[in-house]
Structure 1
Amino acid sequence: MKFALHGVSVWHSNAVTQLRIARETGYTGLELLPEHLFRYLDNGGSYAGYRQLMEKYQITITCLNALKRIGRHQPEERATMLQEAEKLCRAAVELGCPVVQIMALTELDSLPEARRNAILRENISAIADIGKPLGIRFQIEVVAFTAFNSLQQALEIIRQTGKDNVGVVIDFWHLHAGGNTRPDEVAAMDPSLIYGVHFCDGRAARPGEAWDEWVQRNYAPGEGDVDIPAWVSAVRATGYDGVWSPELLSPRNWEHDLWDIAAGCLDSMKACDLH
């Protein structure tokens, strides 16, 4: 089992500081946001320099999170999306990172299910083919407030693509708030299809309330409606022994000391007997 600090949890920081925070608060990995990485590179940083810092702090990059809006299907938009995939894969290779996260947002929600699934199959297959020769795997995150929001939908797309470098991330909030996945479905999974776990809390949108992650996820572990012990038990029942990353998407908590945020996130996982 490996613990990776999630870049979202320390949103108001930079890619360099995140390595130091991770090291000093007890993690061995970092789930890095591309916007943090590319901001560093655009302002004088280099991959070589970042690798030196990774070595200094003994932190590996476990995932680049994420390639978003993978349902883009109009020719120019799709070409741009695939260019973004290539850029992220090149970055992953530079940092020795094995996994890139991919996710659809609401770009496909107005389409019939069959058309939506056909686009996802085609695009995910193309993304997988970009990463395959580079040794890069892709974890699908289903998103609670979209039409593509259940574990079974993701697993069926993976089955249909037939790509052996595509799996899922088990994100507690997205699966809970999406309302279409039960912990026992996770417990029945082949662990080889789980590429990561996002340990997090929150709630679903209330009746009449617009979806807004900065509202519905503004909870530290134990404060929201997610049955965290049930999801932890489900993942552990599979035999999965990979990366666990606490994802604290919480504007209220983001204003705390960055080191305290990271340490508190790790403590919340250890309180669930993760070690």
Structure 2
Amino acid sequence: MLGKALHTKSIWKSNLMTDIRLASEAGFGAMEVASSKIWDYLSSGSPLSEVTERLKQYNMQIISINDIANVERTDDDAVRNTLAETEKLSAVAQQLGCDCIQLVPLLALEGRSEDEVIELTAKNIARICDIGAKYGVRFQLEPVGWSPINSLRLTQKLIQAVGRDNFGTVIDFFHLFVGGDTTPDDVRHFDPNRIYHIHFCDCRLPKEGESFDETILRGMYAGEGEVPLAEWVQAVKDTGYEGWWSYELISAKHWQCDVAEVAAETSRLLDKYVLNR
């Protein structure tokens, strides 16, 4: 059964406890939570037990924590820090009843050969997955549109190279669209067992000479951009995927709007484009 999840990056200026209430009030059944909101909460001295109680109060669940970034880096300090972060965040995820953490490889391997990028990134992710397995956590890759791993073809190569049952991907409309090497047909033929979640959104491509600013390019509601949304939504459904869809609105403009109104509108648009309500 398809479900709607509030992505807390859509309402970036709100805090974690408020996010939980807003998700419920807007009609979401789950949340994808930005890891920085969890760290901010914990750094205040507040206990995780209060988060779990609030989740119960609003009949809400956390389905993914976003994210551990720069997982492709190979320098010793970076690898140690990544593995330590994985251990810590996996323990937090387990306490919150969340079984998924997002991984984001970025630009450290830019300029290397495709095979080398896959090999080095896979080595790190395999170690990450082994840590998470102790906590019942799986990991979803976000292929980033401007990074060396920016397509479903490369995602599939990475999944095979990692060789772990608890590693898959998120289908992120923005990143796959701007990456330019993934089509709805590629989505349609992807293994649904390796699709952990969907990040739904609209966006536009940068104009000639325009800097690549994600908070501007995806700063629009569904139907206002350039993504052929009906094709992409149908391609996901054709895989047989039946899980959670999150509306990820990373938008400098909308971060200055009323967070309750933004949550409600993203919920309405998921109803319209995905659930056909």
Where 1:41 maps in the other structure, the secondary structure is helix
User: Once structures 1 and 2 are overlaid, which stretch shifts more, 1-10 or 111-120?
Assistant: 111-120
- The Cα shift of 1:111 comes to 2.3
Does the CA contact (< 8 Å) of 1:220 and 1:250 recur in 2?
no
Structure 2 distance, partners of 1:114, 1:26, is 44
Provide the residue aligned with 1:89 in structure 2.
90
- Return the offset for 1:204: 2.3
After superposition, what is the alpha-carbon deviation per residue over 1:139-189, rounded to whole angstroms, capped at 9, x for unaligned? 000001112100110111101221111011000011101000000111112
Q: Secondary structure at the match of 2:253?
A: helix
Please give the alpha-carbon distance, in whole angstroms, between the structure 1 residues aligned to 2:195 and 2:134.
21
Deviation at 1:3, TM superposition (A): 1.1
Matches within 5 A, 1:195-234: 195-234=196-235
Deviation, 1:273, is 4.4
Structure-2 residue corresponding to 1:170: 171
Give the aligned residue type for 1:9: S
Q: Which amino acid aligns with 1:175?
A: L
Aligned length: 275
Aligned pairs for 1:144-183 (under 5 A) are 144-183=145-184
Show the counterpart of 2:118. Answer: 117
Q: Which position in structure 1 is the counterpart of 2:244?
A: 243
**Corresponding letter in the other structure for 1:15:** L
User: What root-mean-square deviation, in Å, do the aligned CA atoms of Structure 1 and Structure 2 show?
Assistant: 1.1
Q: Deviations over 1:38-87 (max 9, x none)?
A: 10111121111110011011110010001111111101111111111111
Residue 228 (structure 1) shift: 1.1
- Aligned residue identity for 2:110: D
Take 1:205 and 1:112, find their aligned partners in 2: how far apart are those partners? 26
Query: The residue matched to 2:273 in structure 1 has which SS?
Result: coil
Deviations 1:15-44 (A, max 9, x none): 000000001110111100110011011112
Paired position in structure 2 for 1:140: 141
Q: Which segment is superposed worse, 58-67 or 207-216?
A: 207-216
Q: Is 2:192–2:240's contact at 8 Å kept on the other side of the alignment?
A: yes
Residue pair 2:100, 2:139 contacting (<8 A) in 1 also:
yes
Q: Aligned partner of 1:50: which letter?
A: V
Q: Answer whether contact 2:220 2:249 (CA < 8 A) is retained.
A: yes
Partner of 1:99: 100
Unaligned 5+ runs, structure 2: none
Secondary structure class of the residue paired with 1:148: coil
- How many Å separate the matches in 2 of 1:87 and 1:115? 29
Paired letter, 2:252: P
- d(CA) in 2 for partners of 1:210, 1:273: 31
Contact 1:220/1:253, CA 8 A, preserved across alignment: no
Contact 1:178–1:204 (CA<8 Å) still a contact in 2?
A: no
Aligned pairs for 1:259-274 (under 5 A) are: 259-274=260-275
Deviations 1:86-126 (A, max 9, x none): 11111110100011000111121132323211111101111
Contact 2:117 2:148 in 1 (8 A): no
Residues 1:77 and 2:78 aligned together: yes
> What is the letter of the counterpart of residue 264 of structure 1?
E
Q: Which is worse superposed, 110-119 or 195-204?
A: 110-119
Native 8 Å contact 1:5 1:22 kept in 2: yes
1:213 partner amino acid: E
Q: Within 2, Cα distance between the matches of 1:155 and 1:203?
A: 25
Instruction: Give aligned-pair identity as a percent.
Output: 37
What TM-score do the two structures reach when normalised by structure 1?
A: 0.97
Distance of 1:192 and 1:34 partners within structure 2? 25
Further displaced range: 130-139 or 198-207: 198-207
The one-letter code of the counterpart of 1:20 is R
Distance of 2:185 and 2:117 partners within structure 1: 27
